[in-house]
């Protein structure tokens, strides 16, 4: 059944706006085809004209564009619940490439099915539209981040963003996340050389603002990191409860007393 994979999508949508039971049902009954990816696999490429959109169910992926000779810029980090090429529903030709960074699972949804969903549920149509607008807001923030902030704030900023976005879909417990990017990949996302990324990360570690080891990232002092990063989550346009960090953050899976 596809429902379990689409749960992820519901989770993401609910981090943006409430869903009616009817809408929820409509989404969960979308036909999907599930695909497993290895690490470092392109699943849509610049120039492609997809007839379906991919939902990232599990794993981690990036969008990137090649620039000039041999350089690339990563323009977005995808976490479970994101639909990297939702835009292909209305923009036929892809202008970037999406790549898994770790073994990941995708659920493909045909454009026809999405269009039908839009026709049947105007509010969902607007919600999908809104999702793409939030992506645009994130790009804007990245422009500002890359253009104006010094390396250390810039780096801190994307770390804050990933943690906040994972938190919104309940994948960050206690400011701890899986973070599988290599320093070279981070460099491609930040517009910094790998060597400099390394030095910046050491600096952040020495200041006790991050703990990064293996593929795990922890933020011991969230307010301090946000301050250094000049991070204000407003641009993520999260629903109030998805943005909150208190105990209520376990919405959807209210832990029953299990003693």
Partner DNA sequence: CGAAATCTTGAGTATAATCAAAAACGGTGG
Partner DNA sequence: CCACCGTTTTTGATTATACTCAAGATTTCG
Residues that bind DNA (CB under 7 A): 150-152, 182-184, 191-196, 198-199, 201-202, 214
The binder of 144, among DNA, its own copies, none, by C-beta within 5 to 8 A per type, is its own copies
Q: Is residue 130 near its own copies by the rule CB under 8 A?
A: yes
178/69 Cα distance (integer angstroms):
32
Q: Is residue 95 near its own copies by the rule CB under 8 A?
A: yes
> Which residues make Cβ contacts (< 8 Å) with residue 255, sequence separation at least 6?
none
Residue 209, SS3 per DSSP: coil
Min dist. Cβ of residue 67 to its own copies (A): 4
Q: Tell me the C-alpha to C-alpha distance, in Å, between residue 6 and each of 9, 81, 131, 177, 224.
A: 5, 8, 16, 21, 35
Enclosing H/E stretch for 198: helix 194-206
Dihedral through CA 179, CA 48, CA 136, CA 244, nearest 10? Answer: -40
Min dist. Cβ of residue 201 to DNA (A): 6
Residue 35, SS3 per DSSP: strand
Q: Is residue 152 near its own copies by the rule CB under 8 A?
A: no
The binder of 207, among its own copies, DNA, none, by C-beta within 5 to 8 A per type, is none
Judged by CB under 8 A, the residue of 34, 39, 51, 143 near its own copies is: 143
The binder of 48, among DNA, its own copies, none, by C-beta within 5 to 8 A per type, is none
Note every long-range contact of 218-222, with CB atoms under 8 Å and residues 24 or more positions apart, other chains counting: 218/175, 218/176, 219/159, 219/160, 219/163, 219/175, 219/176, 220/175, 222/163, 222/175
Min dist. Cβ of residue 144 to DNA (A): 14
Binding mask 48-77 for its own copies (x = CB under 8 A): ---------------x-x-xx--xxx-xx-
The binder of 214, among DNA, its own copies, none, by C-beta within 5 to 8 A per type, is DNA
Enclosing H/E stretch for 167: helix 151-168
The binder of 51, among DNA, its own copies, none, by C-beta within 5 to 8 A per type, is none
Q: Contact 91/46 with Cβ under 8 angstroms?
A: no
Q: Which residues bind its own copies (CB under 8 A)?
A: 63, 65, 67-68, 71-73, 75-76, 87, 90-91, 93, 95-96, 119, 122, 125-126, 129-130, 132-137, 139-149, 153, 190-191, 230, 234-235, 237
């Amino acid at each position: 059944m596809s429902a379990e994979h689409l749960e992820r999508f519901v989770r993401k949508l609910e981090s943006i706006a409430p869903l009616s039971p009817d809408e929820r049902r409509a989404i969960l009954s979308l036909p999907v085809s599930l695909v497993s990816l290895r690490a470092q696999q392109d699943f849509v490429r610049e120039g492609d004209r997809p007839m379906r959109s991919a939902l990232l169910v599990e794993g981690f992926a990036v969008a990137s564009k090649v620039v000039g000779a041999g350089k690339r810029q990563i323009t977005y980090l995808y976490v479970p619940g994101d639909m990297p090429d939702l835009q292909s529903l209305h923009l036929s030709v892809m202008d970037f490439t999406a790549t898994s960074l770790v073994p990941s699972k995708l659920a493909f949804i045909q454009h026809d099915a999405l269009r039908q969903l839009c026709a049947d549920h105007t509010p969902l149509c607007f919600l999908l539209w809104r999702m793409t607008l939030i992506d645009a807001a994130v790009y804007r923030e990245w422009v500002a981040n890359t253009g104006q902030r010094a390396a250390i704030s810039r780096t801190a900023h994307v770390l804050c963003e990933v943690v906040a976005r994972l938190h919104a879909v309940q994948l960050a417990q206690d400011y701890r996340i899986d973070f599988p990017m290599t320093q070279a990949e981070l460099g491609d996302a930040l517009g910094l050389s790998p060597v400099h990324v390394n030095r910046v990360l050491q600096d952040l570690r020495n200041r006790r603002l991050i703990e990064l080891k293996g593929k795990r990232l922890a933020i011991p002092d969230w307010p301090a990191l946000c301050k250094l990063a000049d991070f204000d989550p407003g641009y993520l346009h999260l629903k109030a409860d998805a943005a909150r960090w208190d105990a209520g953050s376990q919405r959807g899976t209210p832990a029953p007393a299990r003693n």
